[in-house]
Chains A and B, each alone.
Chain A
Amino acid sequence: MADSFQLEIVTPEKLVVKDSAEEVQIPATTGYIGVLPGHAPLITELGAGEISYRSGGQVHRFATAWGFAEVLPTRVTVLAETIERPEDIDVARAQQTLQEAQDALKSADSEAEVETQIAKVRRAQARIEVAEQKNV
């Protein structure tokens, strides 16, 4: 069994990553999934969270808001609606969004409203997490 697989991360605007990786973690809506080479074929939707992959011992990390992934034994393709590198994230803004969304959540009166605000909270949290781990 090969010890690496092809990884592609694609956004609506461009191909962001085309690399060989030894391991990737993706934020499926049902929880994080770690993928090693030779993984069984899998299709999943991604929620807000962190995509990280290890390539040549180096770990690369990104924040995403929504995505979709196909896992094959030798290839992983991630469609991500947004991709942000930790250094590009404006933590202060994310904090502010988080605060606003949490406040809006308390006063939300419809189910749809609650859902959109929860999604906002998740996205903001994901961005903050990705950005802050980098500084550690």
Chain B
Amino acid sequence: MASILDIRRRIRSVINTRQITRAMKMISAARLRRAQERALAARPYAQMLTNVLKSLVTRADTYDSETGEPLHPLLVRRPEQNVLLIVVTGDKGLAGAFNANILKAATRFLESKRGKKVQIVAVGRKGRDFLRRRFRAAESTSAGAGSDSQVTLVGEHVGVLNKIDYALASEISEQVIARYTHAEIDSVYLVYNEFKSVIAQRVVVEQLLPVEHIGAPEIVEASSEMELREKQRAIDAAKGTGVSLRPADTSAVDEAAAKFATAPVDYIYEQPPRQLFGSLLPKYVATQVFHALLESVAAEHAARMTAMESATVNAGDMIDSLTLSMNRVRQAKITREIIEIVSGAAAAQ
């Protein structure tokens, strides 16, 4: 049986751990609030851009009237041979199943694209590490064996997630757009953790290119909603942190954005609508990427907040049970000492 001193030491260590997890939870909550604010602040631009594009689609002939062929390279559909997948994970762990879930979805996606060449761009250290471990080997063996399924890691963005800006999204999207336009790749997908609120999130695979419907991203695959138990845990974690459980109210922003470039008047177009459409579409893709990055960051902080709340609760339970066994040990020791004294006295008589 452990001595009282040992147990006391363990209790102290668990108390320290609990302090750390509690602090980490509060930090995550603060970062989550900030991430939510940023996502909200980014909304007007994205909405306005979407609205302009939507109204331009009707004015600019985006499809050739005779052949039905799309006139913009980002609308062109080709048979899918070369696929590019952008995987957005976190830079750090200790966020429950956050990174694992995304990578699971990514792996499933890769399974479904078996037989095609898939290139991966990893955003976030966790995803990069996982994919690199997994596919560097795959690449070297398949190159020799002439395997028909090739997965290669072609780009990575690591350590950028704690100060995420539009420039990063713009860089990523410009790269994929350039390669798509040159027909090096035939489709581009994004896998990331969508974040509506603390209790409404899921991992989605979204089709980025070709652009199918403007304003309605093509969700190819989505994980199921959170389980009730997970939701309850998230609700508990959000308590007392000032993190709202409901999705942010965007109706006012959306309404204002909806007015953009859609007034019922005859606009003077400085440039032909088709040219405008052509220069706006790539920006639309960039905002999609930016949106995914922002949501992923928010989701990561939410996941960490929940995980740290659970850790704090578990540490509390452990302290309770350790305290209980410490008291038992102490009790046993006292009892033993009394018996020794009593029996010693009895022997002396």
Q: Which residues of A contact B271 (CB under 8 A)?
A: 29-30, 44-45
Are A45 and B45 touching (Cβ within 8 A)?
Answer: no
Report Cα–Cα, A77/B45, bound state, in Å.
10
Contact code string A74-109 (vs B, CB < 8 Å = 1, else 0): 000101011000000000000000000000000000
Asked if A10 lies at the interface with its beta carbon under 8 angstroms from chain B, I say yes
Are A42 and B268 touching (Cβ within 8 A)?
Answer: yes
Are A45 and B279 touching (Cβ within 8 A)?
Answer: yes
Of A11, A15, A30, A43, most buried by chain B (CB within 10 Å of CB) is A43
Chain B, 231-283, CB within 8 A of any chain A CB = 260-261, 263, 265-271, 275-276, 279-280, 283
Q: Which residues of B contact A10 (CB under 8 A)?
A: 44-45, 48
Are B46 and A12 touching (Cβ within 8 A)?
Answer: yes
Residues of A within 8 A of B (CB): 10-15, 28-30, 33, 40-45, 66, 68, 70, 72, 77, 79, 81-82
Report Cα–Cα, A14/B46, bound state, in Å.
10
Are B270 and A45 touching (Cβ within 8 A)?
Answer: yes
Are B263 and A45 touching (Cβ within 8 A)?
Answer: no
Are A81 and B270 touching (Cβ within 8 A)?
Answer: no
Asked if B290 lies at the interface with its beta carbon under 8 angstroms from chain A, I say yes
In the complex, what's the smallest C-beta–C-beta distance from B277 to chain A, in angstroms?
A: 10
Q: Which residues of B contact A68 (CB under 8 A)?
A: 49, 52, 276, 280
In the A-B complex, list the 4 residue pairs whose CB atoms are closest, starting with the nearest: A44-B270, A14-B41, A12-B166, A41-B265
Report Cα–Cα, A43/B166, bound state, in Å.
24
Are A15 and B41 touching (Cβ within 8 A)?
Answer: yes
16 contacts between A and B (CB under 8 A): A10-B48, A11-B45, A12-B46, A12-B166, A13-B45, A33-B270, A42-B269, A42-B270, A44-B270, A44-B271, A68-B52, A68-B276, A72-B265, A79-B52, A81-B170, A81-B283
Chain B, 20-61, CB within 8 A of any chain A CB = 38, 41-42, 44-46, 48-49, 52
Report Cα–Cα, A87/B266, bound state, in Å.
39
In the complex, what's the smallest C-beta–C-beta distance from A113 to chain B, in angstroms?
A: 12
Are B166 and A81 touching (Cβ within 8 A)?
Answer: yes
Contact code string B194-206 (vs A, CB < 8 Å = 1, else 0): 0000000000000
List 20 extra interface pairs beyond A12-B290, A14-B42, A43-B268, CB under 8 A. Answer: A10-B45, A11-B45, A13-B41, A13-B45, A13-B166, A28-B270, A29-B271, A30-B270, A41-B267, A42-B269, A43-B52, A43-B267, A44-B271, A45-B271, A68-B49, A68-B280, A70-B52, A77-B260, A79-B45, A82-B166
In the complex, what's the smallest C-beta–C-beta distance from A38 to chain B, in angstroms?
A: 13
Are B38 and A43 touching (Cβ within 8 A)?
Answer: no
Give how many A-B residue pairs fall within 8 Å (CB-CB). 78
Q: Number of B interface residues at 8 Å Cβ cutoff, please give it.
A: 31
Contact code string B138-174 (vs A, CB < 8 Å = 1, else 0): 0000000000000000000000000001100110000
Residues of B within 8 A of A (CB): 38, 41-42, 44-46, 48-49, 52, 165-166, 169-170, 260-261, 263, 265-271, 275-276, 279-280, 283, 286-287, 290
Are B45 and A40 touching (Cβ within 8 A)?
Answer: no
A12-B290, A81-B166 given; A43·B270 CB < 8 A: yes
Are A79 and B265 touching (Cβ within 8 A)?
Answer: no
A30-B271, A42-B268, A45-B271 given; A12·B48 CB < 8 A: no
Are A70 and B261 touching (Cβ within 8 A)?
Answer: yes
Closest chain A residue to B37 by CB distance? Answer: A14
Report Cα–Cα, A79/B50, bound state, in Å.
12
Q: Which residues of B contact A41 (CB under 8 A)?
A: 263, 265-268
Report Cα–Cα, A40/B44, bound state, in Å.
24
Report Cα–Cα, A12/B279, bound state, in Å.
16
Report Cα–Cα, A59/B52, bound state, in Å.
29
Are A13 and B48 touching (Cβ within 8 A)?
Answer: no
Report Cα–Cα, A70/B265, bound state, in Å.
12
Report Cα–Cα, A43/B266, bound state, in Å.
10
